[in-house]
Structure formats: C-alpha cells, structure tokens
Amino acid sequence: MTHTVRALRVHRDLMTDVGEISAPDIGENEVRVGVAAAGVCGSDIHAVQTGAWIEYWPATLGHEVVGTITESRSPDLAVGTAVAIDSRIPCRACADCAVAPQLCARLTWLGESRPGGFAEEVVVPAAGVYPFDAAILPMEVAVLAEPLAVVLSALLRLPRDAARVLILGYGPIGALSHLVLRSRGIDVIVAESDPGRLAAAAARGAISASTGRERVDAVIDAAGYPGSVATAFTAVRRGGTVVVVALGDHAIDVSAQELVEKCVTIAPSIGFDDDGIPTALAVLAASPSAFADVVSDRIVLDELAKRLAEPTPTLGKIVVTLA
C-alpha cells in the first residue's frame, strides 16, 4: 500500500523545501531502509545551487546514508538490519565498467537519478547495502563510510614510500585523509584558510603549512580552488605525486615542460570501487572514537533546505539525523 514520507524536495527552479512525497516502490532484490542519518556532501550543495547531475524533479538528494532495513525483497537481508548504502549506480555493462565500475562513463549516484537519503525512507538495490553492528559502530559515525571510502580509494594513489604528505583543504575529505595517514605513521602538513579547521587539524597532530616548508612526497588536493593543483605541484618533491580528489571546473595551470622536468605524477581519483563501503565500515568499526568528531554539525530534516541553499562554513561534516 502506498504511503508518504517526509523528504527534502529540490524543485526544477532550484527552490528547496521539506514536504511529503510518495514513498518509493520496492522491487525484487531491493530493500527499504528507514534512514537514521545522512551526510551532507559538497556535491549536494553544488546540485542544489546549479541543478547539476539531477535527472528527475522534484529531486530528493542524499547519498551518504545509513539506517535500518524496514522491508526486504532479498533473501539475504533481514528486516531490522543496520546498513550503510553504496550510492554508486554504474551501468555495469560498458567497457569502462569492465575495468572498474567507478570509471563508468554513465555513472550516477543515489539522489541524482533516483530518490536519495534526505528522507525518512529510501529504497535501494540489496546488492548495494552493507550490514554493520550498530552496537559497535554508531549510526552517526557509520555515516562517514562513503566519504571515507572515497578517501581510502584516493590514498591508493599515493607512492608506497610516502613519509610526508601535504593536504590542501581540511573539510571532511581532508580530515578523514589526515586521520588515516596518521594511523599509518605518515607525517601530515595541512594548508587551510579557515582558522577553525586549521586549529582542528593541529589538534589532531598536523603541521601547519605556514611552518612546514619542507618538500613533501605527495599532496592530496581536497580543496579544488583555482590554482590548487599548481600549488600542489610546486609543493611536491621531484618525482612525487599529486592526488586530485576535489572537483573543480578550473584548468590545471602546469606546463608540459614543468611536468616532464619535475617528473610529478598527477593522479585523479573519483569515488571508490565495490569493496569501498565494507572496507570503510571495517576501518570505522575498529576505532569509532577516532573518527567521531569529524561530524561537527547535527541537524534535523526541517533545517536542511536552508543549510543547502545558504551554506556556511563548518568545521567538519554536517549530518542530518532522522532517527
């Protein structure tokens, strides 16, 4: 029987509100998840401001989602199971998917091509949900699984012998990168213009870029401002690596001659592969307290439309709590 749920709605004119929508129908090998928490990503803000990537209207965004299964059409997943959702929707039929689903030329995400997690309920394929023990890993930490999966995938691009890494930008991706690198014994320098975020980095043991002038083995560009890749290129040692995670529509201002003579690898990284969410859940479950304070702002669904339309700087991740 059809019922309604409360959800964020992004309208074609890019106005946003929270109201009632028809709950998505559930099909075979799908599950209905009662959303407990959903993280706000920078891509959500960009989509609200520009309409980019959205394929239906009104849209319900939200792709960093955890909750509890309330209805299951899968023999392998029981009602009551706590799960994190893999929000990627690759076609799994193209030549690029054969290399890696994260490279799919038609890759879309939950919220962009089907209703997402800024809602009381969401319906997703059973193959894209991963159970975890909510008694060990709280929902409000588990919601970091998706951005952490992005980070873990990006860190695979670092050289194996990297001992000193510069992170440009200390939003959630920068902070999660720092925590993982710190756990591996790697020295981290942070460049961040926001004083609060820079203080948070220092409290976690990072060196400020204003005092750490040594050349680094690698740079993670988690900022994406015009000129950020050129800044990273200047900072990295000869033969080092620049990992580009942040999305930006600006050109990369590095000449071919500089690139060749310095022999720097510029390594872009997008999303994560099929093992991304379960790997991230395992890392979070091993030490939930180490990651908990990356969540800096907890809001309810009714506050979300304003926070997306009028974004203000935060120390870390904004999480919408629904349960």
Tell me: the pLDDT tens digits for 231-264? 999 999 999 999 999 988 888 888 899 999 999 9
In this prediction, residues 147-167 reach a mean pLDDT of 97
User: What is the distance in angstroms between the CA of the first residue and the CA of the last residue of the chain?
Assistant: 23
The residue segments making up the domain with residue 304 are 4-146+271-321
CATH code, domain with 131: 3.90.180.10
Residues 38 and 130 in one domain: yes
**Residue 151 belongs to some domain of the structure:** no
Give the HSE-up count for residue 41: Cα atoms under 13 Å, Cβ half-sphere. 29
**Percent of the chain clearing pLDDT 70 (strictly above):** 98
pLDDT at 183: 97
Do 142 and 8 fall into the same domain? yes
Which residue, of 252, 268, 284, is where some domain finishes?
A: 268
Q: Is 13 exposed, middle or buried (0-12, 13-18, 19+ CB in 10 A)?
A: exposed
Q: What is the mean pLDDT of residues 198-207?
A: 95
Angle at CA 190, nearest 5°, toward 40 and 282? 50
Assess whether 275 and 264 both reside in one domain: no
Of 268, 296, 312, which residue sits at a domain end?
268
> Which tokens in the block code for residue 60?
């319900």
What pLDDT is recorded for position 214? 66
Is 310's pLDDT higher than 90?
A: no
**What pTM does this model have?**
0.96
- Claim to verify: residue 264 and residue 295 sit in the same structural domain: no
φ/ψ of 148, rounded to 5, equals -65, -35
In the chain, the number of structural domains is 2
Q: Going edge to edge, which strands form the sheet with 216-221?
A: 207-208, 187-191, 164-168, 216-221, 236-244, 265-268
Contact 243, 269 (CB under 8 A): yes
Per-residue pLDDT at 312: 84
State the pLDDT at residue 1. 58
- Tell whether 295 and 192 lie within a shared domain: no
pLDDT at 20 over 80: yes
Looking at the fold, whether 41 and 103 belong to one and the same domain comes out as yes
